[in-house]
């Protein structure tokens, strides 16, 4: 998978679960284990970035002005 072809958060978590299962099996050659580990690290970082972006968005949605009005901005489908 290329870095430009990112999975959704849910897809990444599912793939990570499969990687963990494969690695825990302990029957893979070293090269395959290393490649899976590297993929897992990449997916973990991507997933964490998406979680961080979601947290920032939630914090923005919970903001209020001094007058008590919610602070809003247009939502971008490319956020996170």
Reference 53, options 6, 5, 19; nearest CA is 6
Domain range list for the chain: 9-62
> At 2, is the pLDDT very low, low, confident or very high (cuts 50, 70, 90)?
very low
Instruction: Decide which of 1.10.8, 1.10.287, 1.10.860, 1.10.10 is the CATH code for 9-62.
Output: 1.10.287
Per-residue pLDDT of 21-62, as tens digits, reads: 999 998 999 999 999 999 999 999 999 999 999 998 888 878
Distance CA 76, CA 62 (A): 17
What does pTM read for this prediction? Answer: 0.71
């Amino acid at each position: 998978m290329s870095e430009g072809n990112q999975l959704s958060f849910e897809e990444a978590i599912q793939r990570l679960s499969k990687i963990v299962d494969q690695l825990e099996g302990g029957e893979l050659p070293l090269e395959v284990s290393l490649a899976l580990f590297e993929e897992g690290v990449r997916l973990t970082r991507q997933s964490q970035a998406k979680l961080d972006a979601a947290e920032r968005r939630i914090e923005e949605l919970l903001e209020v002005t001094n007058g008590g009005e919610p602070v809003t901005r247009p939502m971008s489908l490319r956020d996170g």
